[in-house]
Amino acid sequence: MNAVVVAVAVMLVLSLCRVHVVVALILGAVTGGLVGGLGLEVTLEAFQNGLGKGANVALSYALLGAFAVAIAKSGLAHALADRALGMINQRSETGHGLLKIMLLGVILAVALSSQNILPIHIAFIPLLIPPLLMVMARLNLDRRLVACVLTFGLITPYMFLPVGFGGIFLNDILLANLTESGADVSEVNVMQAMGLPALGMLCGLLVAIFISYRRPRSYDTSRIEQTGGESVSYNPLSLVVALLAVAAAFVVQLLLDSMIIGALTGFVIFSVSGVVRWREADDVFTEGMKMMAMIGFIMIAAAGFAEVMRATGSIETLVASSADMIGNSKGLATLLMLLVGLLITLGIGSSFSTIPIIAAIYVPLALQLGFSPLAIVALVGTAAALGDAGSPASDSTLGPTAGLNVDGQHNHIWDTVVPTFLHYNLPLIAFGWLAVMVL
CB 349 within 8 A of CB 393: yes
pLDDT tier, 256 (very low <50, low <70, confident <90, very high otherwise): confident
Distance CA 67, CA 260 (A): 10
Which DSSP letter does residue 227 get? Answer: T
Residue 282 has pLDDT above 70, yes or no: yes
Average pLDDT of the chain, as a whole number: 83
- Domain segments of the chain as ranges: 56-166+186-293
200 pLDDT above the threshold of 60: yes
Q: Which alpha helices (H) appear in 227-372, and where do they start and end?
A: 236-256, 259-273, 281-291, 293-312, 314-324, 330-348, 351-368
pLDDT score at 327: 64
196-210, 237-251, 410-424: least confident range = 237-251
Long-range contacts of 277-286 (CB under 8 A, 24+ apart): 284/66, 284/69, 284/70, 284/73, 285/66, 285/69, 286/66
In contact, 174 and 355? CB cutoff 8 Å: yes
Residues contacting 307, CB < 8 A, separation 6+: 46, 47, 49, 50, 53
Q: What number is the average pLDDT over the span 198-221?
A: 94
Mean pLDDT to the nearest integer, 399-425: 92
- φ, ψ (nearest 5 deg) of residue 240: -65, -45
Cα(199)–Cα(432) distance, rounded to whole angstroms? 10
Q: What's at 17, amino acid-wise?
A: C
Gap between the Cα atoms of 132 and 83, Å rounded: 10
Q: What is the dihedral of CA 280, 281, 282, 283, to 10 degrees?
A: 50
* Contact assessment for residue 27 and residue 308, using Cβ atoms and an 8 Å cutoff: no
Using pLDDT thresholds of 50, 70 and 90, give the confidence band for residue 230: very low
Q: What is the 3-state secondary structure (H, E, C) of 132-169?
A: HHHHHHHCCCCHHHHHHHHHHHHHHHHHHCCCCHHHHH
- Would you tell me how many other CB atoms lie within 10 Å of the CB of residue 32? 29
Q: For the CA atoms of 181, 389, 127, 223, what is the dihedral angle to 10 degrees?
A: -160
The model's pLDDT over 423-435, given as tens digits with 9 standing for 90+, comes to 999 999 999 999 9
DSSP letter at 276 equals S
pTM exceeds 0.85: no
Cα–Cα dist 86/138, whole Å: 11
Q: What is the pLDDT of residue 382?
A: 94
Q: How many residues would you count in the chain? A: 439
**How far, in Å, are 124, 132, 275, 430 from residue 239 at the CA level?**
16, 17, 9, 46
Q: Which amino acid is at 328?
A: N
Whose CA is closest to 363, among 188, 174, 182? 182
Per DSSP, 94 falls in state G
Q: 133-184 pLDDT, tens per residue?
A: 888 998 899 999 999 999 999 999 999 988 777 888 898 889 988 998 888 8
Amino acid at 368: Q
Alpha-carbon distance of 16 to 25, in angstroms, equals: 12
SS3 state at 21:
helix
In this predicted model, which residue has the larger pLDDT, 196 or 367? 196
- Residue 323: pLDDT band (50, 70, 90) is low
